[in-house]
Amino acid sequence: MDPVRVGTLVELDVGAPASGGGFVARAPDGRVVFVRHALPGERVVARLTAVTTRYLRADAVDVITASSDRVPAPCRLAGPGRCGGCDWQHVDLDVQRRLKAQLAADHLAHLAGIRCRVVVEPVTGDVGGLAWRTRVRFAVDGTGRLGFHQHRSRAVQVVGRCPVAVPEVSATGVTLSRWPGAVSVEVHAGDVSPNREDTESSATVVARRRGRGALARPEVEPGAVVDRRLACPPGSVFHEVAGRRYRVSAGVFWQAHAGAPAALVDAVLQGLAPASGERAVDLYAGVGLFSGALATAVGPTGSVVAVEGGAAACADARWNLRDLPQASVVRAAIDAEWVSRSMGPADLVVLDPPRQGVGAAVAGALGPAHPRAVAYVSCDPASFARDLRALLDGGMVLTSLRAFDTFPMTEHVEQVAILTTPGAAAR
């Protein structure tokens, strides 16, 4: 085969899904090609976008033989060389879930030695896979217009209305304005009031300055936060989950899918089956989503310790748990030393770490606490599988695994594993 370079067109037969939103094919010289905008079983013409000695990347620019699972993309900006935000808009929604299940099962088999069938469950709160994202981070181009980065590029595809975002995001009008001097603008939609009776929707807009330069802040309907300073209210939004009201300040993590928090809380509670009087530890607790549900379940004779490293998230967690005296918030960097020295015994543990996972050291440090049950929540199949292997090697047993489609139109999936310690009983 002649030497290939970026821009070369090749015909490919497409196979299984791969991490990163593409699918696996083989180049004529035998190298693996990760092909975006394709589907298993298709024959496509693909343009190479990256070339290494071990593998190639490509975008399908013409479909010779189409899969019956291919559908028209609902967004005109989805496709090669355009918005890099949604990888699978061209895939039937039910098929998306089957492909995600296949990806998750492959990671479990290859990285954890776990062979099981994975079913990806739909989550309420979207409309046919659209209008689900309550928080959106926009990139800013050189002229101050908002959009999203193209795949593996710093180039910005300017957008108007994003179809995967909830309507409240577009209602802010941020994409109709220019943001010169900003490097990113994040919109987090929710309720403007902490009171349950007041359900007026609003949003927080967080603009981050480019270097030390000036930032011109356009007039927007909701609150705006510039470099962590509240420029106009509100500085927080509120979400209701399982009968509790949660405050989420500007820039603090919250699940993006409108229905994800309720689905994940339900899965964790079902899996752990907390009993009155038990002691629970919620690691990587964020604003206290799982802590609030657990504290209600264990009651006044039990206890919940919410452990979080971020100052703003801890402040939100204290506000969110203020009516539950059995719940406390600890600000700490979570590592193996902290778990070994400070966590203490626990009946129940919740792990909801960032994408990189908890790591083998933290997983190993949990063993001496002899928790009756552990719930592990993860959005990354690779780190999830590696950490499960470490927990299993520490003597725990995997008793259930569920997966949720909290990122429609992409290859991402949220998983919840429940592990138990043989012989451990409630304290």
Enumerate the active-site residues: 379
Spell out the alpha helix ranges (H) of 205-357.
Answer: 260-272, 289-298, 311-320, 336-338
Please report, in angstroms and rounded to a whole number, the separation of the first and last CA atoms in the chain: 67
* Residue 293 CA: distances (Å) to CA of 206, 244, 312, 330: 29, 8, 20, 17
* Residue 178 CA: distances (Å) to CA of 10, 85, 98, 158, 181: 40, 21, 40, 11, 10
Q: Which helix (H) or strand (E) holds 360?
A: helix 359-366
Residues 137 and 184: beta-carbon distance below 8 Å: yes
- Sign for the pseudo-dihedral over CA of 137, 289, 402, 359: positive
Distance, in Å, from the CA atom of 146 to the CA atom of 57, rounded to the nearest integer, reads 27
Backbone angles phi, psi at 259, to 5 degrees: -95, -5
Place of tokens 């092909």: 35
- Helix then strand then coil, in percent of the chain rounded to 5, is 20, 35, 45
Nearest partner of 272 among 292, 288, 294, 250, judged by Cα = 294
Side-chain half-sphere of 168: how many Cα atoms within 13 Å?
23
3-state secondary structure 270-285: HHHCCCCCCEEEEECC
